[in-house]
Amino acid sequence: MKLAIAVFTMVLLFYGTSADLSYTDRECGTDLTKLWLDVVAVVDNSIGMTNEGLDTTAAHIASVFSAGTRIGTQSSEPRTTRVGLVTYNVNAQQNADLNKFQSVDDLFNGVFADLKTVSTSAQSYLSTGLAAAESLFEYENFGTSRSHYKKVVIVYASTYVGEGEMDPLPVAIRLKTSGVNIITMAYVQNGDGFMLKQLAEIASPRFNFSSTDNNGNTVGQVQSALLETNCFCPSDWIQYRQNYTDYNSYRYGVCLQTVSLAANWRAAKMACANRWTNSYLVNEYNQQKHDYVLNVVQNSSGFFQPYSYHNGLNMVGGVWKWDQPSGWPQPALKNWYNWDPGYPITSSSLTAVLNQQNNEEVATGWQNIDYYKTAVNYVCETSSCDTDNYCSSAGRNGE
Ligand SMILES: *[C@@H]1O[C@H](CO)[C@@H](O)[C@H](O)[C@H]1NC(C)=O
Ligand SMILES: *[C@@H]1O[C@H](CO)[C@@H](O)[C@H](O)[C@H]1NC(C)=O
Ligand SMILES: *[C@@H]1O[C@H](CO)[C@@H](O)[C@H](O)[C@H]1NC(C)=O
């Protein structure tokens, strides 16, 4: 299985670097060595966790960050990850704030030392652990030079107690509403269905895991959740998902922005290029992307029926090509076409393309137009912020 994946990846790489440009939408970065996050591990150390469970948890945390992730902030490279540690039973204790671990060795030493022996308490209130994580973010992330780094809590729990004042759900909801993702890892000895159900509510969608439901790879599950968290769009940009109405559907490493101030194609192209580093007029490689763009347009203020908006298609040297950041090769149109009947019209002046809605039905088709004349709204596209693409707080990519 691993070998098959490796061969597949090599084929993809080869394909990507050949003259035939890849004709797919960008995927989120997956380079753990370039992860840039602020993380707090929140670990249950009540008796139920057992010394063995605690030791396993230390090893798990250490393994999640052992894939070359830069721990701490002592690097000229901005793509670094800070990891804090909180333990909880009746009360929570802050073992390491976000600035304590400055290397992966620090992290190893810290978590193994702090997760050596369970407390004497049989009680365990996740609400206290989450509240401690919340205050760490409050003091050490929000309002600091790292406030634009995505925030994650990883909960390791052996039990779930949640009633009245000790209900962890309100804190979890508060964290998630303020943009913090929550990963839960249930330490289950004998299939505690109640706990799993409760932790699923605490966790961000699809980020609820269990030590027994692992296929041997809970480390990989947590790493994937961290990579996914690290892949996001700048404010005012909308991330391209597999399914527009399903927020939890697969997310591409692509961000979209509608512009509701009409411009001709040439001006729209320049305006898109100036919106962000490496931004351009939207590509519509396939029906799924086209439909998604139309959904975004339908939900944007300043766009009215019949819809009419530029995409990135233009004639270059006699070939229809998709717009790209300046200096990048433009992929030639292939595979999927959305021309309206009678289009494209052969003409040396109709060298740009817009999407036009032709009847009551909400659907749009391509029509070629004059590069300098027809002024309509348009849609811009750029790469997501992720491990391959750092976004600074000033809001520009790759600097
Ligand atoms: C995670 O939550 C989903 C939805 O609530 C549930 O179907 C799934 O079994 C949970 N997974 C684990 C490991 O608890
Ligand atoms: C449509 O736009 C509204 C307002 O900007 C936003 O709250 C909502 O999430 C959008 N719908 C979808 C499915 O993205
Ligand atoms: C998209 O998501 C919605 C809401 O979850 C669902 O009803 C619909 O079937 C999904 N569409 C596709 C094509 O999967």
Question: Separation of 218 CA from ligand 1 center, angstroms?
Answer: 14
Question: Separation of 191 CA from ligand 1 center, angstroms?
Answer: 13
Cβ atoms within 10 Å, residue 316: 12
Is residue 383 within 8 Å of 278, Cβ to Cβ? yes
Whether ligand 3 lies within 6 angstroms of the CB of 246 is answered as yes
Pocket test for ligand 3, best of 206, 243, 295 (most atoms within 8 A of CB): 243
Distance of alpha carbon 149 from alpha carbon 10, whole angstroms: 31
CATH number, span 238-383: 3.10.100.10
pLDDT at 17 over 60: no
Mean pLDDT lowest for which of 68-77, 187-196, 318-327, 380-389? 187-196
Tokens of 288: 């799924």
How is the chain split into domains, by residue range?
A: 32-229, 238-383
What pLDDT is stored for residue 333 in this prediction?
A: 97
Residue nearest to atom 7 of ligand 2 (CA): 299
Answer yes or no: same fold for 32-229 and 238-383: no
Is residue 343 within 8 Å of 333, Cβ to Cβ? no
DSSP 3-state of 182 = strand
Tokens of 301: 């203020």
Question: Separation of 381 CA from ligand 3 center, angstroms?
Answer: 24
Please tell me the number of the ligand nearest to residue 192's CA: 1
Fold observed for domain 32-229: Rossmann fold (3.40.50)
pLDDT at 316 over 90: yes
Distance of alpha carbon 77 from alpha carbon 63, whole angstroms: 22
Instruction: Over range 257-268, report the average pLDDT.
Output: 97
Instruction: Over range 78-94, report the average pLDDT.
Output: 97
Whether ligand 3 lies within 6 angstroms of the CB of 248 is answered as no
Instruction: Over range 196-215, report the average pLDDT.
Output: 88
Is residue 322 within 8 Å of 312, Cβ to Cβ? yes
Res. 187 pLDDT band, cuts 50 70 90: confident
Q: What is the pLDDT of residues 129-176, one digit of tens each?
A: 999 999 999 999 999 999 999 999 999 998 887 778 899 999 999 999
Question: Separation of 286 CA from ligand 3 center, angstroms?
Answer: 18
Please tell me the number of the ligand nearest to residue 250's CA: 3
Residue nearest to atom 4 of ligand 3 (CA): 246
What pLDDT is stored for residue 162 in this prediction?
A: 75
Residue nearest to atom 8 of ligand 2 (CA): 299
Q: What is the pLDDT of residues 22-53, one digit of tens each?
A: 899 999 999 999 999 999 999 999 998 999 99
Question: Separation of 238 CA from ligand 2 center, angstroms?
Answer: 10
Question: Separation of 197 CA from ligand 1 center, angstroms?
Answer: 7
What pLDDT is stored for residue 21 in this prediction?
A: 66
| pTM (predicted TM-score) | 0.90
Instruction: Over range 247-273, report the average pLDDT.
Output: 96
Is residue 196 within 8 Å of 210, Cβ to Cβ? yes
**Cβ partners under 8 Å of residue 323, min gap 6:** 269, 272, 280, 281, 283, 312, 313, 314, 330
